Amino acid sequence: MTTTRLIVGTLLCLVFALESQARPIVFADSTNVMLDYREGAMAEAQISYAPEHWMSVGLGYTDLSTDYSASHSFTYARMSVLVKRWNMEGAQANIFGWGGIGNTYIGRYVAEFTPDGDFNGHDHGGPPPDPESGVVAAINASAYNAGAQFDYETLRFYSSFKTDYVDSSLFWHRADTLQIGFAPYRHDTDSLATWFIISGRNYAGDLHESQELAFLVRLFKKRSWVEAGATTDGKIQALLMFNF
């Protein structure tokens, strides 16, 4: 897909061309931009504004159609909240939660038929296929989104668990992610940090159910985060976030 290729191309260029900084700290009256690409699974773009350090509001677009003939996507408005933060000597832990509303979309596609001529394509309650062309028209539906993340980090160890859920009358989708990371050297607030991350993810829902294991390199400073790597199947993953 053209959009997906553009996102991953931009991410990879930034990974190798930028002075890699990384994990953004959310400041009051700041804007955060995020681009995320996972080959064979999804591509996502978000922009959010934080009027306070503990909450933000924003817009996003998620493309879930990488492996499908029809476009499957979710466009949303979301609020995120820092539920709880623990500041410890040499460590920090956080709980984040978010929720939003939006629109799911399935693009027009060519339906499949069984030998007896019955429709055997996507069953999303949409319009029937045109009997002559077999094309099903595009459909939209309202949707909601909810999720949460818990993370714990020291100067040399990182761990997080994240769950994100989308539901509508067209389809539902959930991604659960567990990450463990190790830093080869200690870093302070203003220095460049390097992390080697092991990331496991489970996808569930109407679109597909699968698991993936990825190995990533993450680089960050105070306001920016860049990471890239691949799954054990050789599929590219890349993420860029920056705060300004």
Token pair recorded at residue 62:
């998620």
How confident is the model at residue 56, as a pLDDT? 93
Residue with tokens 């027009």: 108
Spatial contact of 111 and 131, defined as CB atoms under 8 Å apart: no
> Can you give the residue ranges of every domain in the chain?
2-64+75-103+147-243
How confident is the model at residue 221, as a pLDDT? 84
How confident is the model at residue 186, as a pLDDT? 86
How confident is the model at residue 184, as a pLDDT? 94
In degrees, rounded to 5, the angle at the alpha carbon of residue 157 between the alpha carbons of residues 152 and 226 is 85
d(CA 239, CA 166): 21
Residue 138 gets which letter from DSSP?
P
Class of domain 2-64+75-103+147-243: mainly beta
Return per-residue pLDDT of the chain as tens, 244 residues: 444 444 444 444 443 333 332 334 467 788 999 999 999 899 999 999 999 889 999 999 999 976 656 789 999 999 999 999 999 988 999 999 999 999 999 988 776 655 445 555 555 656 666 666 668 788 999 999 999 999 999 989 999 999 999 999 999 999 999 999 999 998 777 788 899 999 999 999 988 889 999 999 999 887 889 999 999 999 999 999 988 8
d(CA 228, CA 12): 8
Which residues are CB-contacts of 195 (< 8 A; sequence separation ≥ 6)?
Answer: 158, 181, 182, 183, 217, 218, 219, 220, 227
Q: Give me the helices (H) in the chain, please.
A: 2-17
How confident is the model at residue 65, as a pLDDT? 78
- Residue count (the chain): 244
d(CA 44, CA 103): 15
